[in-house]
Chains A and B, each alone.
Chain A
Amino acid sequence: MIARIVVVPKPVVNDPQGVTVRQGLASLGFGEVTDVRVGKYIEVRLDATSEREARERVDAMCSRLLANHVIEDYHFELEHERKGAMR
């Protein structure tokens, strides 16, 4: 199974990277952009017997290491890998 995890700064946390990217987009003519938040994307490949088990394990990974609950929120999607698929 693959977990596709997205970690973003909490709305209350100042995100200077996001502000700078928004300014960059504005200078390129994308004036319609009202907000940008820069986070990270983490892909985790794991063995699990069920989606429920995988969800619990990935949630624990996020809360214990992959995201810092003081400053970040996270969400993720799980995707089944085809057996024998090329890695």
Chain B
Amino acid sequence: MKFGVVVFPGTWSDRDCGWVVDQVLGAHLQYLWHKDTDLKGCDCIIVPGGFAYGDYLRTGAIARFAPLMESIGEFADRGGLVWGICNGFQILCESGLLPGALIRNASLEYRCEWTNLVVERADLPFTSQCDEREVIRVPISHGEGSYFADPATLSRLEQNGQVVFRYCDVEGRVRPSSNPNGSLHNIAGIVNSRGNVLGMMPHPERCAEAELGGTDGLKLFRSVMHSAAQVLTA
């Protein structure tokens, strides 16, 4: 199992993701430079957090034109696993791999705090080690994480079950008070209709070791590992 971690100028969560992949998970790690086009045989591509290209113009607006993003788009079209976290989610939306957009937090504040997420889909390669309706605790760290989509797109996402994570309270109740950024329908993460491209604002790579205050994020990395093992043995 080989994870590719994308590095743009301005990415800062690449090392955190890389650490989890090779030090915690024990999987193969390959950093992928944005100017390259070769995905080097990776089974899952992580587009990590940060401020790619300084987030100039809009978050993710310039990053999507990187040569590597074209290869990632083709990889996704072939069914490859693509996982955008925070800035990576914003980039996947800008590039059209996921619907909608992430806008300024309703509070106008940069929010760096723990959130509770209810897992609405546990049948995905990214969540197979979670239980459906399980509440996981994962931190956020963003100023522009308020998910927006037009009403038609939003209802399509809901009907197709493409909402994977929703901000909730500790008991799993989805409430306005548990929404840290004003996301429509408390959306914290979505998947494309095929289920192989995930975007999420919270940072699972920041809660993959007990020393960091929680290990729920590791479940997602383990899920990807597990799904790849299933594909290999199938």
Cα distance, A71 to B101, chains bound together (Å): 7
Chain A interface size, under 10 / 10 to 19 / 20 to 34 / 35 or more: 10 to 19
- Contact status B148-A16, CB under 8 Å: no
Complex CA gap A12/B150 in Å reads 8
Cα–Cα, bound, A71→B99 (Å): 12
Q: Is the interface of B mostly helix, strand, loop or mixed?
A: loop
Cβ contacts A to B, 17 pairs, < 8 Å: A9-B103, A13-B148, A14-B146, A16-B106, A16-B107, A16-B108, A16-B182, A17-B108, A65-B57, A65-B61, A68-B94, A70-B93, A70-B99, A70-B148, A70-B149, A70-B150, A71-B101
Q: A13-B148, A14-B146, A71-B148 are in contact. Are A66 and B57 (CB under 8 A)?
A: yes
Known contacts A9-B103, A68-B94; can you find 7 more A-B pairs with CB under 8 A? A13-B148, A14-B148, A16-B106, A20-B108, A65-B61, A68-B101, A71-B148
Give Cα distance in the complex from A65 to B104, angstroms. Answer: 19
Contact B106 A14 (CB under 8 A): yes
Q: How far is A16 from B103 in the complex, measured between Cα atoms in Å?
A: 10
Q: Is the CB of B108 within 8 A of A70?
A: no
